[in-house]
Amino acid sequence: MKTVFKKAVRISLCCCIAFTITVSGLFFAIVQPGGSGLLASIQLPDGSEYRVAQRCNWSAEPYTVSFYMRSPKGGWGWCYIDQQANRWRDVALTYDATSDVVTVTERGTWKAGLDRKRSTFAIGDGKPKRELDAPQSRVKRPEFASHERSHQ
């Protein structure tokens, strides 16, 4: 009887360890935690600056992705992009002078756009789904500023 019990405990323990390793492996493979920081930046000829940053949440909502904007000699403004994102890669900020729009793409897919003329910020996955006033809030020290001097 003791031998059967010991075997059952060993099998249960091995299954728990295997499950934990599998879940941890999947978490690291999908979320790839730790990739916090500045993803893209652009400065326009008029001196205005735009940046995209991500922060690893170490949770079921893997990453928060944010857009930051600053007019020449002004303070930083913040706009929401996503708080349930997987790790972003190959992020680009582009500016179209004709439409006066700053666009955010991730791996070539449209994710957000700032209409500077209308002061609106749109988000979506491939196309705009929601549009809000920009900036949505003001920030004294953006999350990417830990490695640079704040110009306020």
The string of pLDDT tens digits covering residues 33-74 is 557 899 999 999 999 999 999 998 888 888 999 999 999 989
| Residue at 145 is within a domain | no
* Number of domains present in the structure of the chain: 2
Task: Indicate whether 6 pLDDT > 80.
Answer: no
Same domain, 18 and 43: no
One domain, residues 42 and 24: no
Could you read off the pLDDT of 107-116 as tens digits, one per residue? 999 999 999 9
Contact assessment for residue 134 and residue 119, using Cβ atoms and an 8 Å cutoff:
yes
Instruction: Quote the pTM value.
Output: 0.77
Containing domain of residue 6, as a range? 1-31
Give the pLDDT band (50/70/90) at residue 117: very high
Mean pLDDT for the stretch of residues 125-136: 96
Q: Does residue 83 share a domain with residue 68?
A: yes
Q: Residue 12 falls within a domain, yes or no?
A: yes
pLDDT band for position 25 (50/70/90)?
low
69 falls within a domain: yes
Please work out, in degrees rounded to the nearest 5, the angle formed at the alpha carbon of residue 72 by the alpha carbons of 70 and 75.
40
Q: Do 82 and 135 sit in the same domain of this protein?
A: yes
> Higher-confidence residue: 4 or 60?
60
Residues 27, 65, single domain; the answer is no
